[in-house]
């Protein structure tokens, strides 16, 4: 059995992300409080709105920080498991019937097709590595036949 795992490239951990947001909020609120104390009281509501919008964007980003896809090839099946936010989808194909298509640049997506079903894989790979992965998957599928 052969298995490939592709994950998002996350530069910082969730804990570091929270610490960054808290430090951003502390600095922003500090500046806003100084401005309010000096007579610019309208700075406070706009700072609150700004922190709310940035917080929502961070939550959306954090929901996708653990996205991944796993491709498992065995003699009897090719299983693609994909997690995006809280949704998990799984596709199963007969490895002898799978066709691998690579779309042309700039998108360079890898599409696995079998009959009328298809699934796009390799979204978390760098574009220049997708063709290498597709060749390796083709080679492994040919060995299964």
Q: Report pLDDT for 12.
A: 82
pLDDT given at position 34: 96
87-93 and 99-102 strand pairing:
unpaired
Residue 92 pLDDT > 90: yes
Q: What is the pLDDT of residues 39-49, one digit of tens each?
A: 999 999 999 99
Domain boundaries, the chain: 14-65, 67-143
Residues of the chain with pLDDT > 90: what percent?
74
Q: How high is the mean pLDDT of the chain?
A: 92
How would you classify the pairing of strands 117-121 and 110-114? Answer: antiparallel
Dump pLDDT digits (tens) for 49-62: 999 999 999 988 88
Model pLDDT, residue 4: 97
Per-residue pLDDT at 65 = 84
- Span 67-86, pLDDT tens digits: 999 999 999 999 999 999 88
- Across residues 130-139, what is the average pLDDT? 94
């Amino acid at each position: 059995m052969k298995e490939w795992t592709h994950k998002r490239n996350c530069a910082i951990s969730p804990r570091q992300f929270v610490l960054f947001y808290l430090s951003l909020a502390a600095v922003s609120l500090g500046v806003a409080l100084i401005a309010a104390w000096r007579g610019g009281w309208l700075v406070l509501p706009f700072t609150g709105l700004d922190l709310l919008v940035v917080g929502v964007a961070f939550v959306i980003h954090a929901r996708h920080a653990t996205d991944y896809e796993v491709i498992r090839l065995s003699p009897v099946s090719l299983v693609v498991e994909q997690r995006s936010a809280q949704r998990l989808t799984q596709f199963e194909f007969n490895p002898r019937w799978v066709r691998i298509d690579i779309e042309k640049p700039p998108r360079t997506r890898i599409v696995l097709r079998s009959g009328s079903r298809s699934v796009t894989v390799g979204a978390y790979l760098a574009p220049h590595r997708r063709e290498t992965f597709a060749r390796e998957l083709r080679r492994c599928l040919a060995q299964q036949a």
